[in-house]
Amino acid sequence: MGDYYPVDAAEVRKNGMRGVLSTGAGVGLLLFNSLLHIPVLGWILSGGLIALGVMGLAGKNSSDKMTGTVMMGAGALGLASIFLKGLTGFLLGTGGVALLGFGAFSLFKFVKGLKSRT
C-alpha cells in the first residue's frame, strides 16, 4: 500500500547516489581485477590503492573511513595476488559483481521513487 504514496525526496536522492557510486565502484573493481594480470602495473596500482586508503582513514567522516578501509582491502588483495592468484581474483570479481548488483538495485529504487513523485 505504501507503493502508491510519493517517496521522500531525500530517500530518492540517497538511492540515486548509492546506485551511481556502487555501480562505478563495481566497474572499477572488475577493471582493477583485470589489470592485476599485468605484473608490474598490478603492483603499482595495489600500492596506490593502499596509499589512498590510508589517506581515507585519516578523513573525518565515517564514509571517508569506510571508503579508505575498502580501498586498503582491495590494494592488499592486489598485492596478495602475487602469491594467491586464484583466490584474490575470485574475491575481487565477486565483490565487483556484488557492487554492480547493489548499484543496479539502488538505481531501480531511484527510478521507482522518481516515478512515484510525478
Residue 36: give the domain boundaries: 11-117
Rounded to whole angstroms, the Cα distance separating 52 from 77 reads: 15
Q: Is residue 28 part of a domain?
A: yes
Q: Is residue 80 part of a domain?
A: yes
C-alpha dihedral, 101 to 103 to 109 to 115, nearest 10°: -120
In terms of pTM, does the model score above 0.75?
Answer: yes
- Residue 31: what pLDDT? 92
Q: Is residue 3 part of a domain?
A: no
Rounded to whole angstroms, the Cα distance separating 94 from 78 reads: 14
- Residue 1: what pLDDT? 45
pLDDT in tens, the chain (118 residues): 455 566 788 888 888 998 998 999 899 989 998 998 887 898 899 999 999 889 988 888 887 788 888 889 889 988 888 888 888 889 989 999 999 999 999 999 999 988 887 7
Domain count, the chain: 1
Q: Is residue 70 part of a domain?
A: yes
Q: Is residue 6 part of a domain?
A: no
